Structure 1
Amino acid sequence: METLNVKKLLPVAAFAFAIAGAFASSPNGKATNVSAPEQGYINNPNPCSESIDCNNQGSEICTIENTNQQVFGLNASGTTCNKVLYKLN
């Protein structure tokens, strides 16, 4: 039985690693950091009252224009409004 020559096997191995790396690094079609509109609420005079449209990602905090009062989103359990929201772009 003839032994494999390393010089012949090395290019094949490099090609196989290149193909595997290309598939491992390609996006799977799912976006992970996508901002989306979200309903925001103020907590004055009542908790979670008066809603406006905000965003779940951004850099500028979502506020009501007239009063500059911060607007919050519902938390994961949907019971309180304390999730930080951002202005729509």
Structure 2
Amino acid sequence: MKTNFAKQVLPVAVFALAIAGAFTTNAMNQRSKTIAPVQGFIKLNPQATSCEQRDMCSNINNGIVCTVGLAPSGAQLFGKNSSGQCSVPIYRP
């Protein structure tokens, strides 16, 4: 009787443990991607094709845009998109 119970329960327990591990690993990967700091750039032209590197900022929207020197009166900084233009809004860390 004990061997039948072990043969039925053990595979289910191993499967549940594997699924829990997969979800935990995926959640850690997603979290590490979103917390990484991003480089801030000043737009040198209205088309955002020419940029100058400045301060480090964050891509997490906390409602406060990232500015030069993190000063409220500083020029707004932007992150680069996939085509290399500095037009992505970024935020204070």
Shorter-chain TM band: 0.5 to 0.7
Q: How far apart, in 2, do the equivalents of 1:36 and 1:13 lie?
A: 44
Aligned residues: 81
Question: Percent of aligned positions with the same letter in both sequences?
Answer: 26
1:31 aligns with 2:29: yes
From the CA coordinates, give the structure whose radius of gyration is larger.
1
SS in 1 for 2:76: coil
Q: Which has the higher helix share?
A: 2
Cα root mean square deviation, aligned:
2.9
1:85 aligns with 2:90: yes
Following superposition, the deviation at residue 72 of structure 1 comes to: 0.8
After superposition, residues 1-89 of structure 1 pair within 5 angstroms as 9-26=4-21, 27-28=24-25, 31-34=29-32, 35-43=35-43, 45-46=44-45, 47=48, 48-49=51-52, 51-59=54-62, 60-64=64-68, 65-78=71-84, 80-88=85-93
TM-score normalized with structure 2 length? 0.62
Following superposition, the deviation at residue 37 of structure 1 comes to: 1.9
TM-score normalized with structure 1 length? 0.64
Q: Check the 8 A contact 2:80/2:87 in 1, yes or no.
A: yes
Gaps of 5+ in 1: none
